[in-house]
Structure 1
Amino acid sequence: MPHSLTARLILMLSLVLPAGVPDPATALQTSAGRVSIAPVASGLTEPWGLAFLPGGEAGGGALVTERDGRLLLLRDGRATPVAGLPEVAASGQGGLLDVMVPRDFAQTREVFLSFAQPQAGGAGTALAVGRLSQDGGRLEDLRVIFEMTGGNSGGRHFGSRIVEAPDGTIFLTIGDRGDGMLAQVLSRHNGSVLRLNRDGSVPADNPFVDVAGARPEIWSYGHRNPQGAALDLQGNLWIHEHGARGGDEVNRIRRGANYGWPVISYGRHYSGGRIGEGTEKPGMEQPAFYWDPSIAPSGMLFYSGRLWPEWRGDIFVGSLNSDLVIRLDGETVREAERWDSPETTRVRDIREAPDGSIWFLSVGEGAIYRMTPG
């Protein structure tokens, strides 16, 4: 990057975090009483993923991705760019996507990134890992540890959420890349949840390791475009995924299971036409919950109850098309509450900070917000 452009970028980023007197917080009435929504950072471009670093009230800082290919470190009232990133294919829905900080970061300093990687004929979802330098300015020894088979020139459905499993393996969601029937083909990664070891190798107990022709990384399949993934308080993996016109799903992920797309769905094609064979078929999983009409869900967390005990175990989801944050009851997996405010414009990611506050990324506002009691 030319020196002058770097200087302008650093100057711009030094203005990202609120300084001096902060902007007034928005008060929102909820089932747990009044909450305050306050800005953490603004001036962002297409923020996509958020992860906290260990230590301190909101961690030792936070990392946020911007889809065009920037990774920012938010710390001590400043936002600074992190160098050493992979080349990304930033077109359509592709680009630099999720970021995950593993539990052993204090020892390893590893950071995982998912992104659209340029491939022959287009792009495909990939996973990289590098070590964050001590000053936070660079990812060192960055290496791509996985890339999907057969990317294409379409700009849709990269999926791309990363979750660390309780046993230290890594779950990665991949969308169908706009080719629905490939989500039913085990020889392709399209429309699947993968399970990988930390170095990108395949765990020996994955369900399709010994199935001829199958991709051994696959943990579950038959997904359309999973843009939310999280562990519940018992350590089970859940995802949500976009339907077409209706049929957004919340699914508890089971080893080796087929979630049906595009053979079964509770939605319809954008043209209004019927999808597949209906809503049920033997051997295919039913969603725990679905939305019709669609909310275009993105981001997902199971809340610990640290600041709001009444919400312990509940699920929080952002909406890209309805400008909402939605709370699902964790026991019934049914909608319990919808919040909309000027800040909840195209909510891309939602996370619980180490202090129990809830942070979310607003694409529409180009900002990060923090929710606290009162």
Structure 2
Amino acid sequence: MFDWLIVGAGFAGSVLAERLARERGDRVLVIDKRDHIGGNAFDHHDAAGVLIHRYGPHIFHTNSEAVFAHLSRFTEWRPYEHRVLAEVRSPVTGATLQVPMPINLDTINTLYNLNLTETELEGWFASRAEQVAEVRTSEDVVVGKVGRELHELFFQGYTRKQWALDPSALDKSVTSRVPTRTNRDDRYFTDQFQAMPKHGYTAMFERMLDHPGITIRTGMDFAEARQRFSFRRVIWTGPVDEYFGFRHGKLPYRSLRFRHETLDQDQVLPTGTVNHPAEDTPYTRVSEYKHMTGQAHPKTSITYEFPSAEGDPYYPIPRPENQALYKRYEALADAEADTWFVGRLATYRYYNMDQVVAQALATFRRIEAELPRHPVPESILAAGD
């Protein structure tokens, strides 16, 4: 008999498993239908010995001191600030260039053969921006700030590939995630804490789940776990519509297909990631992991990302009608006894990793408030030390 069955061994499930076992002395069974822990952040050494991310690059960044401090219990960190270039065609010369993304001062000066200052760039953006009465869509966000030409260069094709929707049909939250800068800051993120787990994400998850109160079963789905084990409560981190048998229909998600390649050279990309916004390029971006991990190796491995309508659900599609459908599932989830729904898929939100950790920690505080603790055996307390 387990106190908890946790479905999914990614950030949400693993953070909660560790807290429940270590702080409460609960007996926790963690299952995952994949053959590994770590969810989409799973990393491993490929055949050449290069550490790669199986499901595309995962760059940790957060402004939450509490989240960073919590994960620091399970890993050392390698400082890393992610930089991205976008391969686009100059409107002036027609040449294909790789320029900083998000758009900044160097992006504009390089593309347009200009020598603007920060102050001048603000005016340059303003002269090209279109007046938008109400900012509702991803297109509104960009054209209202920097105009239609830059929107078409950097966002339109990328968005159509990534989401299979035109930016005019996608919620404003998507492109709002990518700022526009007037300075020369070429970091993709500006969070206070930016780092990669020193020995990889999988090693961090292994330490997190290394507790005598936690049992792990990979390659196991919910149906099999219910047949084989007894448990009092459930934490569900998978798609919320799947839990309820798609009672109200399927929630729309986008997926990804990955092509991993190993090259017999030390380095191939100038930065960790190069975006390819052009619609006639089938992939959206290419990433090289040695930039992120700092690994010294004579070879290098890269990953191409191809958006797809089929495959594992990765990205909830932010549109009003989808949110309305989710609300029907949310009502079912709220009424489900002894079951907590946590994570990007279970709450149909486009969360970053740190946001999922924060949500899991907040869920643990709710559990603590709602459920009395069992006395913790001294043997488990000693193991926790």
- What TM-score bracket applies, with the shorter chain setting the length? under 0.3
TM-score (norm 2): 0.24
Of Structure 1 and Structure 2, the greater strand share is in 1
TM-score (norm 1): 0.24
Of Structure 1 and Structure 2, the greater helix share is in 2
